[in-house]
Structure 1
Amino acid sequence: MTQQHKAVVLGANYYIGLSIIRCLGRAGVPVVAVEYQKEGAYALHSKYLSEQLIGPHYKKESSALKDFLIEYARKQDYKPVLYPTADPYVEFIDEYLDELGEYFLITQKEKGLWTRLIDKDSLYILAEQHQVRVPKTIQTTRPDLIEVVESDLGYPCLVKPADSTIFVAEFRKKLFKVHDRVELEEALKRSEDAHIEVVVQQLVQGFDDHMYTFDAYLNQESKVTHWMTAQKHRQYPIHFGASVYTKQRYVPELFTIGAPFLEKLGYKGFAEIEFKKDADTGEYYLIEINVRTTNFNQMIADVGLNMPLIAYKELTGQPIGSRIIKEDTGQVFHYMYEDLHASRAYVKAGDLTWGQIIRSYKANKTGAIWSSDDPKPGIRFIGKFVKRIVSKVKKRNA
């Protein structure tokens, strides 16, 4: 394998960055992680990391970070491949795509496309233009908003942000589920007071196991070359959170919907479309698109699709071929730490029993953080968790 090109991973304080580092490092690729601080960045301790850089904050000093990265890339013999690990890093790259693209290899070439797909309003407009089913959505700028919501959607319905990152940072949840007019008005006011743009959306019926994903890689000609599908089973926060227990499952209908949509958009690189299957009609609704590496990236690699490595190979001029996971492998992504919180909530809500949850542990699982061949990040994560508990106990006893 050609190894002159380094891989630069933006973000090392979450397991998505860790999974990219491992996917590339295990294949012999020299990996560089960029963070704005060392504290809490447990992925910096991976043995598969060649270099670590501490630079400016991606949001507070975005222009300075851009200059920092370009200065680093200028010193390299070959253009590094650049990987975002979270939506804020995606938006950062998108903002400076033209400048960064001169010094880095980046899968996406169209400035603004990533941002349009992250933004729920513009995503749903694009989906409707390409005849992809999305939940009915009502803009909050309408003067007759409450009346239209009650006549067209009914309760319960959802108040969802255009930008999930800002919303989660403010409210520690991805959306508000409202059951009546009082709750709707309260959710709208809280969003307005926080200066966060939201919409009101139809609630597609079905439990969390009605959530599915289409995970695909599109080459530089915007053709799907690699793909698989998966079924979520548990999320945290429950019902409207991130995956904590997801099983690979072959669902060809998702390819039929998702592949033509992404190809017509001229998309390049990895993408994950989240769908929800309506429990009443059986129809699949597009919920959102992750335009960066997904939570269960390591599980995708474990079943045979190393998406970060596929991108690296293509961008550095190596053949990538094509592959589809057409069988049910039974492989599961499991984030034990958050699944414990989720499980308690599911049981308390009467959605699942402890017996059902414990039986699910028998599956062949890919963990989020712990890996026997790279234990230090897991040890650091556990240490951080223990420190947090100790701190809480001390405060309680003070």
Structure 2
Amino acid sequence: MNNKAVILGCNYYIGLSTIRCLGINGVHTVAVDYSNKHTYGADSKYTSERLIAPHYKEDTAAFIQFLKDYARKQSAPPVLIPCHDSYLEVIDEHLSELREHYLIPQDEPGIYTNMMNKEVLQRLALENGVAVPETVRVDENNFYEKIDQIIKFPCIVKPTDSPSFVAKFRRKLFKVHNRAELEQALADAQEANLEVIVQRIIPGFDDHMYTFDAYLNQDSKVTHWVTCQKFRQYPINFGASVYTGQKYVPELFEIGAPFLEKMKWKGFAEIEFKKDAETGKFYLIEVNCRITNLNNLLYKVGVNFPWITYQELTGNIVPPKAVKENTNRVFWYGYEDMLAIRDYIKAGQLTWKQVLGSLFKPKAYAIWDWKDPKPAFSYASIIGGKFMNKLLRR
């Protein structure tokens, strides 16, 4: 295999999982980060090369030039796989010039950014008959009247640009319970120069969150897919998955596949849905355009999305596959799940009996792997260092 795989962002387990999914198949993997700090994903035995690039936002021009210079030295175009939304935004902005040097699933500039923009995504979903939570824009007429009559409290204030919002506030959204909290959230967003929208909260506990994970070929047809059910998130209720199980839900395919195909999507995508606890209706919440947190679970149940991507882009088609059974396997991010369990129990949303009963299912670990243990030890060292710093500051 002459084509290398350049993986952007290995300071998180998404990059680690991607490296493993490719390296186990003999692909030459190149871990790219802007710093050596906390890049435990690159400690995998499946990492073939490690590179330090200019920071993708602090010096975007130098970062793009770095990628192009690296690709020019190779005997065949590398496959480019971003493992963080911020990298994806930069790639989208420079898609045309990067495609001259790299193999990338998408060929339409702007499609990644549009799908990640919550306001644009809502419009696209509604235009194509996919339900989304009721939403009010901040500059609409009779804003507070619409909040009281349509949205109601509590509600959520969401960014249109998630990566910038998370970078600023270290959270995905604001949950507000009254007008005073709403006004404060809007003021905070305005001060940070970040655009936000206000949405109704779809009723239902965290186990009403589902995902449709799919690969679309270069003809924009779904060829591979898996559906999953979330059980726990961190931060609780509006965070990232820390305990999620594979579950066959054909209705998610019936909603998600036509939508992505109409969007002319190519490559991997994950649609997050929430099932209304009162009506049973599925609402589209967001679309993840890069490899998902759940990637190791998807791999363990038989669908290796990074490898499928690599194979198609290098001219080797992988036969279509869908997981149409319940495997009982769960994705588990142990460290943050412990924090989540603490908060769920404190909030009275789960009992210890419910939690303990959930811990005996076969797992796809976020970080640990018996055959590749070094990243887990590196991660443990990072967490240990954080605890020591907290103790020393007291």
TM-score (norm 1): 0.98
Displacement of 1:143 after TM fit? 4.3
- Measure the CA separation in 1 of the matches of 2:16 and 2:257: 28
Q: Which amino acid aligns with 2:222?
A: V
Superposed CA deviations along residues 193-246 of structure 1, whole A, max 9, x for unmatched, are 121110011111100000000000000000000001000000000000000000
Q: Which amino acid aligns with 1:316?
A: T
- Measure the CA separation in 2 of the matches of 1:266 and 1:285: 21
Q: Which residue of 2 aligns with 1:341?
A: 339
- Measure the CA separation in 1 of the matches of 2:292 and 2:343: 24
Q: Which amino acid aligns with 2:293?
A: N
SS in 1 for 2:306: helix
Q: Which residue of 2 aligns with 1:251?
A: 249
**Percent of residue pairs identical:** 55
SS in 1 for 2:26: coil
1:130-279 → structure 2 map (5 Å cutoff)? 130-279=128-277
Q: Which amino acid aligns with 1:320?
A: V
List gaps (5 residues or longer) in structure 1: none
Confirm whether residue 120 of structure 1 aligns to residue 118 of structure 2: yes
- Measure the CA separation in 2 of the matches of 1:214 and 1:44: 28
Q: 1:72 aligns with which of 70, 73, 97?
A: 70
SS in 2 for 1:131: coil
Displacement of 1:172 after TM fit? 2.0
Q: Which amino acid aligns with 1:268?
A: K
1:53-68 → structure 2 map (5 Å cutoff)? 53-68=51-66
- Measure the CA separation in 1 of the matches of 2:266 and 2:124: 16
Superposed CA deviations along residues 318-367 of structure 1, whole A, max 9, x for unmatched, are 12110010000011000001001100000000000112111111000111
- Measure the CA separation in 1 of the matches of 2:373 and 2:207: 31
Q: Which residue of 2 aligns with 1:109?
A: 107
Confirm whether residue 369 of structure 1 aligns to residue 367 of structure 2: yes
- Measure the CA separation in 2 of the matches of 1:152 and 1:370: 45
- Measure the CA separation in 2 of the matches of 1:213 and 1:360: 19
Q: Which residue of 2 aligns with 1:14?
A: 12
1:88-103 → structure 2 map (5 Å cutoff)? 88-103=86-101
Superposed CA deviations along residues 56-107 of structure 1, whole A, max 9, x for unmatched, are 0011111111100100000100000000001001101101100000000001
Displacement of 1:155 after TM fit? 1.2
- Measure the CA separation in 1 of the matches of 2:8 and 2:172: 23
Displacement of 1:269 after TM fit? 0.3
- Measure the CA separation in 2 of the matches of 1:32 and 1:158: 39
- Measure the CA separation in 2 of the matches of 1:65 and 1:370: 31
Confirm whether residue 300 of structure 1 aligns to residue 288 of structure 2: no
Q: Which residue of 2 aligns with 1:44?
A: 42
TM-score (norm 2): 0.99
- Measure the CA separation in 2 of the matches of 1:208 and 1:390: 32
- Measure the CA separation in 2 of the matches of 1:360 and 1:170: 34
Displacement of 1:176 after TM fit? 1.3
Superposed CA deviations along residues 119-142 of structure 1, whole A, max 9, x for unmatched, are 000001111110110011110012
- Measure the CA separation in 2 of the matches of 1:153 and 1:39: 43
SS in 2 for 1:177: strand
- Measure the CA separation in 1 of the matches of 2:365 and 2:242: 10
SS in 2 for 1:340: helix
Q: Which amino acid aligns with 2:177?
A: H
- Measure the CA separation in 2 of the matches of 1:82 and 1:273: 22
Q: Which amino acid aligns with 1:56?
A: P
Higher alpha-carbon deviation: 182-191 or 34-43: 182-191
Displacement of 1:168 after TM fit? 1.7
| Residue correspondences, number | 394
Q: Which residue of 2 aligns with 1:291?
A: 289
List gaps (5 residues or longer) in structure 2: none
Q: Which residue of 2 aligns with 1:129?
A: 127
Confirm whether residue 23 of structure 1 aligns to residue 18 of structure 2: no
Displacement of 1:173 after TM fit? 1.6
- Measure the CA separation in 2 of the matches of 1:102 and 1:380: 36
Q: 1:32 aligns with which of 30, 36, 40?
A: 30
Displacement of 1:296 after TM fit? 0.8
Displacement of 1:163 after TM fit? 1.2
Superposed CA deviations along residues 9-66 of structure 1, whole A, max 9, x for unmatched, are 0011000000000000011111001110101111121110100110100111111111
Aligned-residue CA RMSD (Å): 0.8
Q: Which amino acid aligns with 1:310?
A: I
Displacement of 1:183 after TM fit? 1.4
Superposed structure 1 runs of 4+ greater than 3 Å apart: none
SS in 1 for 2:133: coil
